[in-house]
Structures are given as C-alpha cells and as structure tokens.
Amino acid sequence: MADHIVGPRIYFIALLGFLIFYGLGVLFQPPNHDRPSKYYAYLWMFFLYDGLLVFTLGLALPPTTTLSIVFALALALDVLGTDIDLQAEFGARFAKSGRWVLLAGVATGYALSLFRRPDPLVVDVLAAALTGFVMFHTFEGQFPVTRGNKFPAFAAGLLLFFGLHLLLGAAE
C-alpha cells in the first residue's frame, strides 16, 4: 500500500532531501563558517540523520548474513567519515561534545524502534529523505558548495520540474 501512496514521488522526496541539505550548505558557507550556529545546525542535522537511520533501516536488514555485514560496514564507514569530517571542521569543540550528540542520535533512534515501529509509508518517506541527505553528503565531499553556487536556480528548477510532472500526470 505504501508503494501505491508514494509511488514515483519517492524520487522527488529523495531530491527534496538533497535540496534541503544543499540549502543548509549554502546557508552556512563562508563567511558564516565560524558562526556557532553552523556547528549546532550540523550537530542537529547529524543527530536527526543518525536517529532516523537507526529507527527506519533497522526494519529492513538485507536478507543474508553477508549482505547484513556489508550493510553494517557501509554504515560504520559512513559514521566514521562523518566523524572525521566534523572533527576536521570543528576541532576540539566536536571532540569534546559533538560525538556525544551523534551517539545520542543513534541511541534515540534505537530506543524509538523498541517502542514504536513506524508505518511502512513513514519508513519509505524517511528512507527517501535520508537517501537525499546521503547523496548530498557524498557530493559535498567531491563538489564542495562554493560562493558562486546557483542554489536558487536549482531549487526553482526542481519545483518547476515537479510541478510539470503533477500537471502532466506523470507523478500520479
């Protein structure tokens, strides 16, 4: 049923997740680099990311032990890479308190999964949004946000594209 409700729009949700995190990257680019708000925004973003990842993806582990190990290794490398990136960017501040915030995100997601299983529709939507975040996080390392970015044009194009899909019935 969740596939019928979300359908092809799942790709738009992933792209919307990418857009949100791209917008945050633009918002906090230099000269706002040293503002404490960037540090707290990134911590909040990764707290949510880690918590939602544990909450939603724990329900859909791969079908074999080998794939589960590869999945766990990929997640561990993602967490390690994030830790290294945040340590490089925020230094001692992150080492002292930031790691605990990220650990709290994982613990919160796990605790929520023990008490409440999300609806499959919620899992699909959150997984798609997380996919957008992972895409942005990966691309940001390869193609950093620069001052000459075209974020407003990208956002407008994305919304126009989705509007045309709705108008023409392709996203039904």
Per-residue pLDDT of the chain (172 residues; tens, 9 = 90+): 444 456 667 777 788 888 887 887 777 765 555 567 778 888 888 888 888 877 876 656 666 777 777 777 777 777 787 788 888 888 888 888 888 888 898 889 888 878 877 777 777 777 777 778 777 777 776 666 665 667 788 788 888 887 887 777 654 4
Closest CA to 36 of 90, 83, 95, 103: 90
Distance CA 5, CA 152 (A): 29
Is residue 50 classed exposed, middle or buried when 0-12, 13-18 and 19+ CB atoms within 10 A define those classes?
buried
150: phi then psi, degrees, rounded to nearest 5:
-120, 40
Q: Are 109 and 52 contacting, i.e. CB atoms less than 8 angstroms apart?
A: yes
Measured CA to CA, the distance from residue 112 to residue 128 in angstroms comes to 19
Domain definitions of the chain by residue range: 2-168
